Chains A and B, each alone.
Chain A
């Protein structure tokens, strides 16, 4: 989720703040399949507390134009009966988006073209049709100005050891640590985390939800590593990567740890 913090109005009877929440995405593959809700229900029963009144965003990316829920309002009501609270949709055709909007859902910005036949995630310009402008992002309040924040230098560099009990947060950027990170220390970054020494504490990259964030370290002995909320504790670390130079990233929703060679 991308949050746009607006100008704060100090005298107003309210405060507007940007914030980040982790929200589940329900990817719709065949919403009209009769087994859709029975299967969903059995999934929910595995962890009823986790799913109870959980906000979800419906992902329509994988759907064909004709395959959307026949009746969005009906679909939303049924989801609510299953204790899920749909708050918005992602992707979909204009018609689907309108229908969702009618059903009280918002359109979440995806940062990618709303409907492109080819699905090029991260690769920039080359794969895109020349006539296609930049992917629709959150509407820029400054009109036509270029998306400056993408080029803002926000990398934070720490040259000394990070001792137990210390917490370092690199907001809106990467965190580079050149000394060892002790057990009991915590590294947080909205972007990537690089540790050019032993990583014995916790490292949480992409904490605002950037699933492309990665963690690199010279010796993986971490208590916990996490990318965009997906985490693994040291007990579950594979012995093959322990004390190795490792690169950690998300691959199709899984936390992958590969040796750097």
Chain B
């Protein structure tokens, strides 16, 4: 049975789209047929991060409106087998999303895919509500910073009250915390919240800690999910997170400042 995952945060700019791209790629690399959907209608970004922006013909909204068939809008990733992207519309707004329309598409995708990853827009309004409504799992992307934590807490409350599982009184949406842009050195200096501080407030299981990394920005700009950048720590962190999501026990890393060896310092290896 296909699982619907929502990547959400409440706050903007914390790394939802980057994480969606990386996580979906990670799942596909593990052999699961995965589709990632951009719910940020009007602010189309996922296709850029996935590097398929030049292949977008039809989009999510076209399919909802019946202007295109689903498989006309789905874009198959060229690098990773089993990975598909459903881009969104740049010209419409969130009102184009309807519960019925979204449900119809998800139901159709469920027949074909193992995982459906919904990349949520920021906020707690319609776009975000539509992205999380049908979710079985929610990955809460949080930065180690108070306002991000507060907003994540808010979106957890929304999940617990406004998701379909909540409305139908079913088993609650499974929550996972993905702490991104974590800089252990700044944490040690006291500039950033510690993992434990965030966990204490949000009280949900930790899926992974993604270190602040120059590789992420580079990957975004060249349109490559960071999971494909084999050298970067961010890649390792996402790969670990995917493994944990699939039920494997993987020790958490990147939570302490790296001991810089002589060679590291000499080569100034980027994270």
Contacts and interface: CB of A to CB of B under 8 A. Distances in A.
A159 B139 CA distance: 22
Q: How large is the interface on B (under 10, 10 to 19, 20 to 34, 35 or more residues)?
A: 10 to 19
A183 B153 contact: yes
B52 interface: no
Contacts of B156: 161, 163
Contacts of B151: 164
B154 A163 contact: yes
Contacts of A183: 150, 153, 201
A163 B153 CA distance: 6
A248 B153 CA distance: 26
Main secondary structure of the interface of A (DSSP, over half): loop
A179 B154 contact: no
Interface in A161-197: 161-166, 179-180, 182-185
Contacts, number: 36
Contacts of A165: 153-154, 157-158
A164 B154 contact: yes
Interface in B187-212: 200-201, 203
How extensive is the interface on chain A, given as a class?
Answer: 10 to 19
B223 to A, nearest CB: 35
B150 A184 contact: yes
B160 A182 contact: no
A180 B198 CA distance: 13
Nearest to A201: B153
A160 interface: yes
A242 B139 CA distance: 32
Contacts of A164: 150-151, 153-154, 157
A258 B6 CA distance: 44
A162 B150 CA distance: 12
Contact of A160 (B154, B158, B160, B201): B160
B258 to A, nearest CB: 32
A152 B158 CA distance: 32
A180 B203 contact: yes
- Which 3 residue pairs spanning A and B have beta carbons closest together? A163-B157, A164-B153, A164-B154
Interface of B: 150-151, 153-154, 156-158, 160-161, 200-201, 203
Interface of A: 160-166, 179-180, 182-185, 198, 200
